[in-house]
Structure 1
Amino acid sequence: MAVEAGDLAPDFELKDQHGTPVRLSDFKGRKNVLLVFYPLAFSGVCTGELGAIRDELPSLGAAEDVQVLAVSVDSMFALRAWADQEEYRFPLLADFWPHGGTARLYGVFDEEKGVALRGTFVIDRAGTVRWKVVNAVPDARDLDEYRKALAGL
């Protein structure tokens, strides 16, 4: 069942690229969350999208008020190498095992390809999904849409 705008965001716990557990509920009451699912590390479109988020976060909204959490089915070891190479300063979360479990929870797992779709969820401090967009694996997201969604918080 897909998570929709207006729903309470399902909590999850995944390890980041350093092996540190990160829970969505850690940010409840403290920060808005930009939850970004993407297919695979080291792929061209994903590198471009996360690089744009890294570079444009201040223009997407108040950077101090928004926590980016990026999720893929890659292992934390692959995510660490990619984060180091690309200088990502936000958590890259490994939805490795059970394979795609969190992507499935949010309704953005492509069962045929075994990866997450390009699903994005803006979650407010109260834990409510305020905005959602899902793109197919080959289709990059539009940063202007993020700006609009985050401006509404």
Structure 2
Amino acid sequence: MGAEAPELTVRTGDVAPDFTLTDTHGTPVRLSDLRGGPVLLVFVPFAFSGTCTSELCELRDNIEDFETAGVTLFAISCDPVFSLKAWAAQEGYTFGLLSDFWPHGEVSRQYGVFDDERGLAIRGSFLIDADGVVRWSVVNPRGQRRDLAGYQAALAEL
């Protein structure tokens, strides 16, 4: 894959692929059950890594932007539930963290953000409207963090 982002399999205007993943409380979360309100999916490579932590802390520190827009925010990684639970507790994340651990990276693959060579999700975000349609997305190459201004611009378009 190198430094380039892969070709997306989910594009703006597509119906977001449905999935069920487990949150840090062991509760299954099904995307289609969240219809009726917008959802932001933020795929991250690894819990506790520097870039991922700084990105999610920035979202945590600006959570009111998402709440004001009525957006339910979920971070998704291929880490096990127990790692995500410890990470959320350490960093004080108030949004959901979902484990795409097993089958390893299945949901990340559905969204075109799984790096088969390294076994991790790359930094991709998808804003899904109340009807389940992708309205905005961004995928960054390895090592490049996402910009909060991009999220804020997408929220303004909802």
Q: What is the TM-score when the length of structure 2 is the normalising length? A: 0.92
Which residue number in structure 2 is paired with residue 73 of structure 1?
Answer: 78
Q: 1: distance between equivalents of 2:65 and 2:83?
A: 29
Change (3 A) 1:103 1:14: same
- TM-superposed deviation, 1:35: 0.6
- Which of residues 62, 68, 74 in structure 2 aligns to 1:56? 62
Q: 2: distance between equivalents of 1:129 and 1:34?
A: 9
Runs of 4+ residues deviating >3 angstroms:
none
Instruction: Give the gaps of 5 or more residues in structure 1.
Output: none
- Which of residues 4, 10, 35 in structure 1 aligns to 2:11? 4
Q: 1: distance between equivalents of 2:149 and 2:103?
A: 33
C-alpha distance after superposition, 1:95-119 (max 9, x if no partner): 0000000000000001111100100
Which residue number in structure 2 is paired with residue 96 of structure 1?
Answer: 101
- The Cα RMSD (Å) is 1.1
Q: 1: distance between equivalents of 2:34 and 2:66?
A: 19
Over the matched positions of the two proteins, sequence identity in percent amounts to 57
Q: What is the TM-score when the length of structure 1 is the normalising length? A: 0.95
Instruction: Give the gaps of 5 or more residues in structure 2.
Output: 1-7
